[in-house]
A and B are shown apart, each in its own frame.
Chain A
Amino acid sequence: MNAKILKRAPVSQQRQIIDKDSKADIGNIVEIEINGKDFKVPLGVTILEACRSNGIHIPTLCYHEDLCIAGVCRICVVEVEGMKTLQASCAYPITNRINVWTSSEKVRKARRHILDLLLSEHYGQCYTCHRNNNCELQTLAKEYGVDFFRYGHIQERRYSVDRSSFAVIRDMDKCVLCKRCVRTCIDLQEVGVLEATYRGDRTKISTFMDKPLADVICINCGQCINRCPTAALKANDPSDEIWEAIDNPEKHVIIQTAPSPRASIGEEFGLPPGHSMTGELNTALRMIGFDRVFDTNFSADLTIMEEGTELLLRLKKKLVDKDDNIKLPQFTSCSPGWIKYIEHFYPDYLDYLSTCKSPQQMFGAILKTFYAELHNIDPANIVTVALMPCSAKKFECNRPEMRSSGYKDIDYGLTTREMAQMIKEAGLNLPELPKSNFDDPFGEASGAGLIFGATGGVMEAALRTVYELVTGRQVPFQNLNIEVCRGFEGIKEASILLTEVKPEWSFLEGLELKFIIAHGTANAKKVMEMLIRGELDDYHFVEIMACPGGCIGGGGQPIPTSPEIRKKRAEAIYKEEMELSVRKSHENPHIKFIYEKFLTDGPCGHISHKLLHTHYVRRGRYID
């Protein structure tokens, strides 16, 4: 039983996981008493879980559903009869009959004291804080009716704000040391950028040697932001610059919107998770003043054409030309967090990556070339904004490789949260707006692009196209829904048999196309270890998304996040895609158009190579 706990990276917090597997094995029921009433709970659940599942509220701060247990904030303490001290309910597994009191005098006093202590060291004021109204510390203060600073209030900054990263800004004066970010980074994502340093009152969350975040191996995934209870972490917000561009009549400001923000932005306006706001969002963006509103799904279709073709070419070179330098399986490259992860952790394996830019960047490149030509606009005056669920996109658009047209493909990456803020600032209530469509010529996109938002989506979209290109038939799945690609299992693998192929693809006859889908870099790591051990030799295609759940769980998405919320967002996407008329990338008429008029030498041709493909940087783990 003990070995299990040790399987992964050596992390102090990790050891403190309560072994969920062993609970399941036992399956016994324990009778306990909570606040004088009897309850039956499964052996091994924590007091917190037992209370929550029975509708008894216990406040928490360091606990997070996605993460292992820390038990450090102590706000969740409860009284267990017979024990001298209070127990952290989030960390206490129930193994025998106990009597629990969740809001006795001692408990209430202790919680209030703990809150008072946290607030005494919490620099700043809520009305000048971006987490105002969505902050767990603030919520607790309200819940406990805090109306004065019992132990004083810190008046001066202790730390400087780290603004070095394109993606994540760290303000440690607002940190409550819950260590959720630490656990997110090392345990959930297995990156390991953050750790507590120093002791006692000087304890703070630091990077390696306290370097700026931009100079360590942070992959910009922003998962730490999504789980930070306060404003200590936030994304690097470009909205001021975007407003400025909008207000400048000389600038032609284009926004493209990715699939995931539509499925989640309603949450920022008080809707429950799982409401798609595509049409309303288009209206809002026009009202804000964007000159054109395009759909990233268009360039997702483009990505599928390029990436699918690249895969087929690799297969041909490998199988027909017997070229051993060709690397298979081909790994997807649309998740910039994943790209930076592999550049740092597996720099020797960059050749496995597809050379395709992400849909965001492809779109930008097309806008500043083809689109500018078509509409006779000076590309220097085009400002491209990408509404993304992602903080890593902010880093990606600033990569020096991403300006092959002579201009930055994308000028600004904007997160769902920042977009919602802009909409509110414009005085709009999103859910009440009328719906409208995307602008032409890139307004129409296939559903294949839409499902990019959830883990497995790229794979599903690619299979629909690759299978049909090769066999001339639709993928053999009901309603085109390739169910094996869906769902939130960490690593999914499956295969599809290619038979009765078209003559030009005869070398693929009878090939069992094997693929793997993984989300979250912890799972990506497992896949990479499989690759290194040679277990993927007969696989062909691997989809990896850096964020748990894929883009719908991206680091720019509304806070909070949980498995349940991510599931709802994914459902919204799949539902919306069923309603679309075109559901295969290669059938998107605008895609056909662009290959006829502009990318005239076809997918993976010369022009597309210059504009739509990229290369990677061997970063390694040690940065000087």
Chain B
Amino acid sequence: MPIINGTVLFNKENHGDGLKKALELKPQEIIMEIRESGLKGRGGAGFPTGTKWMLAAAAISEKKFVICNADEGEPGTFKDRVLLDEYTRLVFEGMIIAGYAIGASKGYVYLRGEYRYLLNKLKSEIDKMYSENQLGNNILGSNFHFDIEIRLGSGAYVCGEESALIESLEGHRGEPRNRPPYPVNTGFMGYPTIVNNVETFAAVPVIIFKGAEWFEKIGTDRSKGTKLISVSGDCEKPGVYEVPFGTTINEMLEMVAAKDTKAVQIGGASGICVPKSEFGRNISFEDVSTGGSIIIFNKDRDMLQVLKNFMEFFVEESCGQCTPCRIGNIKLLEGVQMIERGECSMSYLKELIELGKTMQIASKCGLGQSSPNPFIAIMTHFENEIFTQW
């Protein structure tokens, strides 16, 4: 799998002694550095990492926790796997620095069940770090103590949602919680907890090593640094790419040698479907935001089938807790099936689009809030294609 264009993470020259440097700083200084770097969460929502850490650092509690979200369940996303596999140290170092910054001494990696094959590798890396005094007591001569434990998920997409992940870690059914309170206040076992994506953690030691100022120069105005993108679908060079924020879809398509592209799905099943007319848009939090995946569809793809596939995914993966998502997704899927059979009236289609809008605002968590996205996008952009089929 080609790994291309490493300006930040995929460039070993940037992997210095970030951890050592961090432990020489005061926790507040680390948080300031991360804030100044403009780093935003890479897991999808793009929440400013420094702010999250600051909130957790400010919470008063005897215990706090750091959780690395390695559930990577979004269809078409496989960039965290590459980081865990090939840049393991970077991720763990990021977690340790986070722990030091917020005052936590325990970190968990919530590893996607399907990534079990990485378990031994990760464990032996942890063992190595203990023997090198990078984990455990008095890390690198400081008086900071930190442990990392790996827990395996068991295959539910919704467990990537941070509060469901915490429920699952606690041994319960993986269902998202009400928010507020947020995990930074009431997280794992009720203690202040930060949950960050693998890629977010990986960026941390690099930022500390190279400095916020350096990092802040990469990317766009409001999206700093680079993004790992898992590219799949109709192209010649699928793989994980590291590109600076602001890269346009056209540039991406060229990079991966895609031809006759009709549409791209950015951000996995719950992301956005961008039609050809909008390929000039760029990847950034302010334009087309993504947790890290691009799926490419060329002119031969049947968009209704693409949509059906996504809807089947959501029907399967909804945790079933809240009404809009539990029943809404099945109604949208049934709508797609009705269209397939030529039984869906335009007025019912409109009802379904309205339903989708309700799901976007009334569902309890991000899954239900984003699951109607492909339905609405594909029905809007490809109405003609879909309704001229029969």
A residues whose Cβ falls under 8 Å from a Cβ of B: 2-3, 5-6, 10-12, 15-16, 18, 69, 71-75, 77, 84-86, 88, 91-93, 95, 106, 109-110, 113-114, 117-118, 120-121, 150-151, 176-177, 195-196, 198-203
Whether B178 and A71, one on each chain, are in contact in the complex, defined by CB atoms closer than 8 angstroms, is: yes
Residues of A within 8 A of B186 (CB): 2, 5, 15
Whether B226 sits at the interface, judged by CB under 8 Å, is no
User: In the complex, which residues 174-212 of chain B have their Cβ closer than 8 Å to any Cβ of chain A?
Assistant: 175, 177-178, 180-181, 185-186, 189-192
- The answer, yes or no, to whether B369 is at the interface (CB within 8 Å) is yes
Top 4 nearest A-B pairs by Cβ distance? Answer: A203-B320, A2-B190, A117-B327, A91-B178
B355 on interface, CB distance cutoff 8 Å: yes
With A5-B190, A109-B354 known to touch, is A74 a contact of B324 (CB < 8 Å)? yes
Residue of chain A at shortest CB distance from B173 = A12
Q: Closest Cβ of chain B: how far from A100's Cβ, in Å?
A: 15
The answer on a CB contact under 8 Å between B330 and A15 is no
Scan B323-361; emit 1 where CB is below 8 A from any A CB, else 0.
Answer: 110111111000000000000000000010011001011
Chain B min CB distance to A227 (Å): 18
User: Most chain-B Cβ atoms within 10 A of its Cβ — which of A16, A73, A77, A198?
Assistant: A16
Q: CB within 8 A of A72: which of B190, B321, B327, B355?
A: B321
Assembly CA distance A12 to B327 (angstroms)? 22
CB distance from B195 to the nearest CB of A (A): 15
Most chain A CB atoms below 10 A, which of B181, B192, B319: B181
Indicate whether A12 sits within 8 Å of B180 (C-beta atoms), given known contacts A2-B61, A74-B324.
no
A15-B177, A85-B360, A200-B315 are contacts. A10–B327 as well, Cβ < 8 Å? no
Q: How many residues of B contact A (CB 8 A)?
A: 46
CB of B317 within 8 A of chain A?
Answer: yes
User: Which chain A residues border B363 with CB–CB below 8 Å?
Assistant: 74, 85
| Interface set of B (CB-CB < 8 Å, partner A) | 61, 156, 158, 167, 170-173, 175, 177-178, 180-181, 185-186, 189-192, 314-324, 326-331, 351, 354-355, 358, 360-364, 369
Q: B residues within 8 A CB of A176?
A: 323
Q: Are B320 and A199 in contact (CB under 8 A)?
A: yes
Nearest CB in chain B to that of A75: its residue = B323
Chain A residue nearest to B330 in the complex (CB) = A201
A-side contacts of B318, CB under 8 Å:
199-201
Residue in A12, A86, A93 whose beta carbon sits within 8 Å of that of B362 in the complex? A86
Q: Are the CB atoms of B358 and A109 closer together than 8 Å?
A: yes
The answer to whether B355 touches A151 (Cβ under 8 A) is yes
Indicate if the CB atoms of B327 and A110 lie closer than 8 Å.
Answer: no
28 pairs of residues in contact across A and B, judged by CB atoms under 8 Å: A2-B186, A2-B191, A2-B192, A10-B172, A12-B170, A12-B177, A15-B177, A15-B190, A16-B177, A18-B181, A69-B178, A73-B322, A74-B322, A75-B323, A77-B361, A85-B362, A92-B178, A95-B180, A113-B355, A117-B323, A118-B327, A176-B323, A177-B323, A177-B326, A199-B319, A199-B320, A201-B327, A202-B320
- Complex alpha-carbon distance, A348 and B175, angstroms: 36
- Complex contacts, A202 vs chain B, CB 8 Å: 320
Bound-state Cα–Cα, A521 to B221, Å: 59
Assembly CA distance A6 to B362 (angstroms): 28
Residues of B with C-beta under 8 A to A75: 323
Contact A113 B319 (CB under 8 A): no
**Is the beta-carbon distance between A86 and B315 smaller than 8 angstroms?**
no
A200-B317, A201-B329 known; A72 and B173 CB under 8 Å? no
Residues on B with beta carbons closer than 8 Å to the beta carbon of A109: 354, 358
Within the assembled complex, what's the spacing in Å between the Cα atoms of A10 and B156? 21
Report how far A74 CA is from B190 CA in the complex, Å.
24
